[in-house]
Chain A
C-alpha cells in the first residue's frame, strides 16, 4: 500500500474579487477570505479515496506558509488526511516564495516520510504557476503525471488519464511518482462537523525550511503588481438586427 503525501496551499478564496495594493507591491491579503486552493482539495480527495479503497496506507498533508497555513492543514485533516506537516515561512520570505522552493521542500519531505506518491493540485489559483508537481518530480527523479483526470492503479504502476490540449492522453507510470490533479479528477467532499472536531486532535508537525535544508532565498524580484487594463463599457443592443449591423461595422462578418 502506498504512502501518500499531498501538498495543500492556502490561497485567497476563488470567489473573492482581489484588490491590488496602491503601492503596487502585491495584492491585498489582510482581512481577505482565504481557503484551500481548489485543485488541492481535489488532490486531498483523491488521496482519501485511495485510502478508502485500501490503496493507500497513510496520508500526510504538507503546507508551506505563515501560521494560518495550519487552518488549511486542518481542513485537509477533516477531509480524511492522517497528519499534517506545516513548514512555516512568513514575511518577505513568503512574498517571494516560488514553486521551486516548495518543490524542494516537498521532495525532501517525500524522502523523509518514504512516500510512494505525491499529489498536488495542477496549479494554485493565486500565482497560477502550474509548476510544483513537475519540479517536485524532477528533484526526486520520479516520473510525473500532470493534469490528471483519472487514476487507475495496477500492481506498482499507475494508469493515468491526462487532460491535454486536444483531448485526453493515457500514460502508465511507475511508482514512486508525482501527480497533479485537474478539475475533473473528482468532486471533493465537504468536511463534516464531527470530522472537523476529530481533525483538531490529529497531529501537525511544525518544521522550518532550514530543518529541511532548503534555501528559500528569493529567485525573483517583484518589480510591480498592477491592475489589468479596464475594458471600456459596452452597450446593450435592442435586437439581433442591431447586433448583425455592429458585427458588419466591425468587419467581423
Chain B
C-alpha cells in the first residue's frame, strides 16, 4: 500500500517535472533542406520530455520550416530569416538564441553534435553561464545524461546542476524523428540586429558525392593505410556502389592524402553506427574504434591476423585486400 503510494507520488512528480521541461532544438540546414541530424536531435528532445520548439535561422528558412512543421512531436517553429546568418556563424546565432531564450525560458537547448552544433552550443552555454554537455548518447532524466569519454572507452553518466541544460546529441544514438504526422505552428523568432563585423563567411568547399552521407549511411566501407594510395580507393568505391554504402577512412588514410579529411571516422572525425561496417586495411587503433564500434555488424579485411580490428569484428578475413576486395565486389 505504502509502496504503491510512493510510486504514485514519484510518477506524479516526474510527470510534473516533464511538464516543466521545454526544449529548444536548433535546426541544422543549408537554406534548402534540413540536415538529418536535426531529426535525431528532436528525438532526444522527446526523450527529455515536455514541449519542443525548433529554431530555424538562416538566410532562407521557408523550405526547411515547411519540412519541420510536419515533424512529429514539435509544437512550434521559430523562424529567423536574416542575411546576418550567412554561413551560420556562432557569433550571429548566439545573440539570436539568447534573445529566444529570454523570451521563452527553455529548460533545454539541444542540437546535433555535428561541426555546426559543436561550434555554436558551447558559445551559447557560456553566455548563459552554464556548462554544456557534449555528444550525449542517452537521456536518463531531464538533468541526467550519458556520454562517452576517453575515445569511447568509458561511459560517463552525469547530472547537470545548471538551470539550463545545453546539450549536443550523438545522431547515431537517437532514431530520427519522422517529418510527418505533426502540425507545428510557425512564428517569427525575436527580431534584432544580429549583424557582426567580427566574422565574415567567405565560402565552402564541399566534397561532392553521389553516395549516401557517411554518418547516416546503412552501410559504410572504410579504408586505411593498407590501401597504399588514393587511386586504390577506387576498389572501395566499387564495393560501396554495390552495397549502396558510404565510404569512410582512418586517420592514417586521411593523413597520407588518400582521401579528404571529411571522410575520417574516429574520435576526432565522424562517429558512425551503420548496420554494416567493412574495415579494409585498417589496423583498428583506439581512436578509430571510437568512431565505429557501435556498428551492428563489423567486417574486417586485413592481412595482419594480429590487427586489433579483429577483436571487434564480427567477421574477419585475413587476406590481401587487393585480392579479396575485387573478388567480394564481383560476387555481390
Contacts and interface: CB of A to CB of B under 8 A. Distances in A.
Interface residues of B, number: 91
A236 B276 contact: no
Contact of A244 (B118, B286, B331): B331
A231 B94 CA distance: 41
Contact of B150 (A126, A159, A223, A237): A126
B204 interface: yes
A231 B152 CA distance: 13
A163 B262 contact: yes
Contact of A131 (B134, B206, B298): B134
Contacts of B150: 12, 18, 27, 125-126, 128
A129 to B, nearest CB: 5
Contact of A252 (B162, B206, B276): B276
Interface in B63-79: none
B155 A144 contact: no
Contact of A17 (B153, B260, B270): B153
A252 B275 contact: yes
Contact of B160 (A18, A183, A220, A224): A220
B317 A240 contact: yes
A190 interface: no
A227 B153 CA distance: 7
Given A174-B199, A252-B243, A252-B276, A139 B126 contact: yes
B305 to A, nearest CB: 8
Contacts of B131: 98-100, 219-220
Contacts of A134: 90, 118-123, 126
Given A135-B122, A239-B317, 13 more contacts: A99-B122, A100-B131, A134-B121, A144-B119, A147-B119, A163-B261, A164-B115, A164-B116, A170-B205, A173-B200, A228-B148, A236-B310, A240-B324
Interface of B: 87, 89-91, 94, 114-116, 118-127, 129-135, 140, 144, 147-162, 196-207, 215, 219, 243, 251, 254-255, 260-262, 267-268, 270, 275-276, 286-287, 293, 297-299, 305, 310-319, 324, 327-328, 331-332
18 contacts: A103-B126, A126-B149, A135-B123, A143-B198, A147-B115, A149-B261, A162-B115, A164-B115, A168-B205, A168-B261, A174-B199, A219-B131, A224-B156, A225-B155, A226-B155, A234-B314, A236-B305, A240-B328
